[in-house]
A and B are shown apart, each in its own frame.
Chain A
Amino acid sequence: MSDNIKNGEVLIRVENLSKSFGDNLVLDDISMEIKKGDVISVIGPSGCGKSTFIRSLNLLEEPTGGSIFFEGTDITERGVDIRQIREKIGMVFQQFNLFDNMTVKKNIMLAPVKLKLMTKEQAQTRAMELLETVGLADKADNYPSQLSGGQKQRVAIARSLAMEPDVMLFDEPTSALDPEMVGEVLNIMKDLATKGMTMVVVTHEMGFAREVSTRTIFIDGGKIQEDDVPEKVFTDPKNERLRDFLKSVL
């Protein structure tokens, strides 16, 4: 699917995206593009709509206005099979959301096997490879309840990767972790970025945003207030609100 999209070409285009919950307008006419190879960090004050924004990209939140194009297809149109689109968009949640009723290995194998992308044997091999990459091969047969937060999140990343997505969405992947476990998860994300994975990361880890991402987006008041390379955003913030925000977190 994505083979015809080259690095630097548009993977996701957001056009005039709006989302309100009742009277609460959370996203106000947002337009932006995500290009293949981008590693975008999304920052902003709590409640500004970062989660709503990233969850709109795979339609976990139904936009109330505008369009989202994924590899050229407007996924907000009726009749689009959103499940097929989601196979190509990995997502990692703040609360991990591993399937509690199955082992680590089964967590990773489930979707590729049920969606008939791999045979059971292929999925098994792939799961073990991925667990190797995230350093958890020895936990393959454990249940999620037996893992630490950092381990759970690494498994969650492996589970998403098993679908071989074209882009990975992370919604505060380290916010639920004890401080000493943040590093192990960020390192894996760094590796992914180095390998060229397209990523959108909502994060409070300003260090990660600064060092790893290729673009930083600052959301406030329902709008993207700043969208630039991290050096610019962090060292020369033009926007008043961004300056205030950075003062409060740095």
Chain B
Amino acid sequence: MKKWKKFSLFFILTAALTGLFTTTVSAVSPFILLGGKEGDLQPEILQRLYDNFVKDDRWKYLVEGLGRTLLITVVAMIIGTLIGFLLAIIRVAHDKNGSVPVLNVIARLYITIIRGTPVMIQLLIIYFVIFASVDIDKMLVAIIAFGLNSAAYVSETVRSGIMSIDNGQFEAAKSLGLGFPAAMIHIILPQAFKNILPALGNELIALLKETSISGYIGLMDLTRGGDYIRSVTYEAFLPLIAVALIYLVIVILLSAGVSKLEKRLKKNER
């Protein structure tokens, strides 16, 4: 029951400690190599931590950046899930009943284009081409870009989830007089969702990390925040490792959340 909780807590702690250890060691090692005395050690690392994170409230770049990163990820995932399910349902409706042929072509085209081009280019096109002449919030651009991108991947995941449900479920629904939408909503999607939950969790994690390119449109996300600190302190190691650790902890928390949800859904069935 509470095993995963203990496990993930243990995992986070290990990760954090490892991170702290490597950070300290590497902060210290050049110093040792240079033959510094032991007594100088502490003030040196403290000074560097101070310069990178405390001075001029530099930690705020990380905290505010994290806030933006999370906001983009969450809203983009919601948009991606909504559109993704819609695209998947269109494609399944076409495959199963031959209905909505035009929408199906549009959906396929959309998925092909999105999956066939780098998300970075999509982000740049949306910002510098589509919204070139409009003064639009960069956050909104990032949310739209990552949401639309995610939709294509989610839709393929959902489609494979629906296809994995035995056709007999559909036929039984049909034989009772239920239509395609009712069968989808009450029978197929609930079962498919449970099967694809791990894959959707992976998509969310991938999305979180993908948002780290938001800096290319001048958005101060977590990555850009760390990079900014680097550019003012001329120290790469501490800010970048700190950023990496923050991503890592969030990914671990997300994984734990997904597996908890998975367990709950599984328990509902029995």
Q: Which residue of A lies closest to B178 (CB)?
A: A111
Instruction: Determine the main DSSP class of B at the interface with A.
Output: helix
CA of A156 to CA of B173, assembled, Å? 12
- Inter-subunit contact A97/B270 (CB<8 Å): no
Contact, CB under 8 Å: B186 / A110: yes
- Contact in complex: B177, A160 (CB < 8 Å): no
Residues of B within 8 A of A145 (CB): 269-270
Interface residues of B in 174-195 (CB under 8 A from A): 174-179, 182, 186-187, 190-191, 194
For residue B25, CB closer than 8 A to chain A, the reply is no
Q: Could you tell me if B176 and A87 are in contact, using CB atoms closer than 8 angstroms? A: yes
Among residues 72 to 89 in chain A, which have CB atoms less than 8 Å away from a CB atom of chain B? Answer: 83-87, 89
Q: A83-B179, A101-B190 are in contact. Are A60 and B174 (CB under 8 A)?
A: yes
Chain A CB within 10 Å, residue with most, of B166, B176, B186, B191: B176
By the criterion CB–CB under 8 Å, are B178 and A114 in contact?
Answer: yes
Structural contact, B176 and A159, CB atoms closer than 8 A: yes
Assess whether B168 is interfacial by the CB under 8 Å rule. yes
A239 at the interface (CB under 8 A from B): no
The answer to whether A90 and B178 touch (CB under 8 A), given A100-B169, A101-B269, is no
Inside 8 A of A110's CB, which chain B residues have their CB?
Answer: 176, 178, 186-187
Whether, in the assembled complex, A225 has its beta carbon less than 8 Å from a beta carbon of chain B, the answer is no
A159 and B190 alpha carbons, distance in the complex (Å): 20
Q: How large is the interface on A (under 10, 10 to 19, 20 to 34, 35 or more residues)?
A: 20 to 34
- Known contacts A101-B269, A114-B186; A163 and B169 CB within 8 A of each other: no
Nearest B residue to A142, CB-CB: B270
Q: A111 to B176, alpha carbons, bound, how many Å?
A: 6
Find out whether the CB atom of A115 lies under 8 angstroms from the CB atom of B177: yes
Q: A103 CB to closest chain B CB, in angstroms? A: 10
- Is the C-beta of B163 less than 8 angstroms from some C-beta in chain A? no
Which residues of chain A are within 8 angstroms of B166 by Cβ–Cβ distance? 95, 97
- The answer to whether B269 and A90 have CB atoms under 8 Å apart is no
A90 to B171, CA, bound (A): 12
Residues of B with C-beta under 8 A to A87: 176-177
Closest B residue to A144 by CB, please name it: B269
Which residues on the B side are within 8 Å of A89 (C-beta)? 175
- Tell me which of A60, A83, A91, A100 contacts B178 (CB under 8 A): A83
The complex places the Cα of A110 from the Cα of B269 at a distance, in Å, of: 17
From B171, which residue of chain A is reached at the shortest CB distance? Answer: A60
Judged by a CB distance under 8 angstroms, whether A58 is at the interface is yes
Inter-chain contact B169/A99, CB cutoff 8 Å: yes
User: Quick check: is B172 within 8 A (CB to CB) of the other chain?
Assistant: yes
Q: Which residues of A contact B191 (CB under 8 A)?
A: 100-101
Which of chain A's residues 142-200 have a Cβ closer than 8 Å to chain B? 143, 145-146, 156, 159-160, 163
Choice from B177, B186, B194, B269 contacting A84 with Cβ under 8 Å: B177
Contact B177–A97 (Cβ < 8 Å) = no
Contacting residues, chain A, for B173 (C-beta < 8 A): 99, 111
Per the bound structure, the CA–CA distance linking A114 and B175 in Å amounts to 14
Which residues in B have their C-beta under 8 angstroms from that of A95?
166, 168
Contacts of A111 on B, CB cut-off 8 Å? 173, 176-178
In the bound complex, CA of A146 to CA of B190 (Å): 19
A 204-230 contacts with B by CB, 8 A? none
Q: Contact flags (1/0) for B174-218 with A, using CB distance below 8 Å? A: 111111001000110011001000000000000000000000000
Known contacts A99-B187, A111-B177, then 9 further A-B pairs from the complex at CB < 8 Å, ordered by chain A residue: A60-B171, A85-B177, A86-B175, A91-B172, A95-B166, A97-B171, A98-B172, A110-B186, A145-B270
6 nearest interchain CB pairs?
A87-B177, A97-B172, A91-B175, A111-B176, A97-B168, A86-B177
Binding site for B on A (CB under 8 A): 58, 60, 83-87, 89-91, 93, 95, 97-102, 110-111, 114-115, 143, 145-146, 156, 159-160, 163
Selected A-B contacts with CB under 8 Å, 22 pairs: A58-B175, A60-B174, A60-B175, A84-B177, A86-B174, A86-B177, A89-B175, A91-B172, A95-B166, A95-B168, A97-B166, A97-B169, A99-B169, A99-B187, A101-B194, A110-B186, A114-B178, A115-B177, A146-B270, A156-B172, A159-B172, A163-B176
